[in-house]
Copies of this chain bind each other. A is one copy, B any other.
């Protein structure tokens, strides 16, 4: 099922090592309307950290603040290990282009995921199997084409505008269109692959942009690899839309029932 050639996602998120400066470039395949898809940017940042020679442990948490649009082309990643402890690391990454202002600011925590008492209090939502649901085909932005969305709840059937706000909840399977084994980079990218909650609540597209995204990783890299999956069950909801900003909370589940990542974000909207 997995392709043997380099996956588009791996090509797109490729970084070139420097000392503290790494380089990447935007990819037309992972473009949104006015710049790269935020999940692409976040995954590229995480990739620079994972590939960094000083990196120790597994990704535990990543926060990405989208400060300004990223122009098409190359970008620099200023990667800094802020503090290293015995079993955790704190990183800061600044993305900029041509020596201009910071366009993306990120912090990350890596940690040794030692065995411990374990308990998953959240239960996986019920979901029809991936294979039984037709893929979503109303594709708008290029990055959407790179994913295989299979909606269970909250199919974005926009245009049916309503007088009362609709549900902001979505439940869907997400995989790469060309199947790719789910890794930490997928989880980051898929964390930002939900359509804006305001689109769902208003049943229409309005100007929207993710402002800040935080993702937590609940499995070790090894345990995630052991799941050996190419799609996740993804659920997202919003609690409030107020004064031009919305929140979003999300969960990414392995088909085996394990909660593998949780995510939250604030996004700007114009409505």
Chain A residues with CB under 8 Å of chain B are: 60-61, 63, 65, 67-68, 82-83, 85, 88, 90, 92, 94, 101-103, 105, 107, 109, 111, 113-122, 165, 167-168, 201-202, 211-212, 214, 216, 218-220, 223, 237-245, 247, 249, 251, 259, 262, 264, 266, 268-271
Task: Return chain B residues, CB-CB under 8 Å to A243.
Answer: 113-116, 118, 219-220, 223
Q: Which of A117, A120, A165 has the most CB of B within 10 A?
A: A117
Please tell me if the beta carbons of A121 and B239 are within 8 angstroms of each other in the complex. Answer: yes
Task: Return chain B residues, CB-CB under 8 Å to A65.
Answer: 61, 90, 107, 109
The listed residue (B107, B109, B251, B270) touching A116 by CB distance below 8 A is B270
Q: Which of A82, A83, A109, A211 has the most CB of B within 10 A?
A: A83
Please tell me if the beta carbons of A271 and B117 are within 8 angstroms of each other in the complex. Answer: yes
With A63-B214, A239-B262 known as contacts, the answer to whether A68 contacts B85 (CB < 8 A) is yes
Please tell me if the beta carbons of B245 and A212 are within 8 angstroms of each other in the complex. Answer: no
Please tell me if the beta carbons of A121 and B259 are within 8 angstroms of each other in the complex. Answer: no
Please tell me if the beta carbons of B83 and A241 are within 8 angstroms of each other in the complex. Answer: no
Task: Return chain B residues, CB-CB under 8 Å to A242.
Answer: 113, 116, 118-120, 218-219
Bound-state CA distance A109–B102 (Å) is: 14
Interface SS majority for chain A:
strand
The listed residue (B94, B115, B116, B167) touching A82 by CB distance below 8 A is B94
Task: Return chain B residues, CB-CB under 8 Å to A121.
Answer: 165, 167-168, 201, 237-241
Bound-state CA distance A105–B165 (Å) is: 38
Task: Return chain B residues, CB-CB under 8 Å to A269.
Answer: 116-117
Bound-state CA distance A245–B247 (Å) is: 24
Shortest C-beta distance, A266 to chain B (Å), equals 5
Task: Return chain B residues, CB-CB under 8 Å to A239.
Answer: 120-122, 218, 251, 259, 262
Enumerate the 8 nearest inter-chain pairs by beta-carbon distance, A residue then B residue, closest first: A122-B239, A113-B243, A67-B83, A117-B271, A116-B244, A67-B90, A63-B63, A119-B165
